[in-house]
Amino acid sequence: MNIRKATINDIESIKLIYNQGIEDRIATLETDVKDNEYIKNWLFRRPEKYTTIVLHDAEEILGFATINPYSSRCAYSDVGEVSIYIDREYRGKGFGTIILLELVKIAKNNKFHKLVLFALEKNKAGNKLYEKIGFKHVGVFKEQGKIEGEYVDIVIKELLLD
């Protein structure tokens, strides 16, 4: 397995993995599958500090992780919001740990003070991964959004990097 910075050539693979997360209803509140233009705008039209990395073998991308802007306010410029998605075929095999540890290292190198994430409370595997890496539980947004007509809770986690 190798990890590298994502390139524009990875858009198709990233889109497929992200859309799996949407379809599986455990990783995001998004409900509409995304196209290449959406992925391009989300991940490749922002300052360099906000990076996306891919985990791959010799043949394919197995997952991706990204540091997104937490807020447009300058007071939050040292806070990054984390997103991580693993191809459904490779979930539960330790790849999330590998890519998330690398993302934390990159965040430290890019002088982030803190990483935050928002996860569906029902995503037990994801929440277990975040805690394994050191993210601390901050709170819960009760009934924060809807999936298939049902309100769901969102957990908030943070990792101080200093």
pLDDT at res. 17? 96
Segment 100-106 shows an average pLDDT of: 97
Sign of CA dihedral 75, 65, 98, 103: negative
Q: What is the pLDDT of residues 136-152, one digit of tens each?
A: 999 999 999 998 889 99
pLDDT at res. 48? 84
The share of the chain scoring above pLDDT 70, in percent, equals 100
- The three-state secondary structure class of 72 is coil
Segment 60-86 shows an average pLDDT of: 95
Return the closest-CA partner of residue 99 out of 5, 12, 7, 31.
Answer: 5
At 49, list the tokens: 């500090």
- Look up residue 98 and give its amino acid: I
Domains of the chain in start order, with CATH, are 2-117 (3.40.630.30)
Which residue stretches of 45-109 are H helix? 95-109
CB atoms within 10 A of CB 116: 17
Q: What is the pLDDT of residues 19-56, one digit of tens each?
A: 999 998 888 888 899 999 999 998 888 888 899 999 99
Cα dist from 53 to 28, 96, 121, 133, whole Å: 19, 12, 25, 17
pLDDT at res. 26? 82
Give the whole-angstrom CA distance, residue 80 versus residue 107: 8
**132 phi and psi, to 5 degrees?**
-60, -35
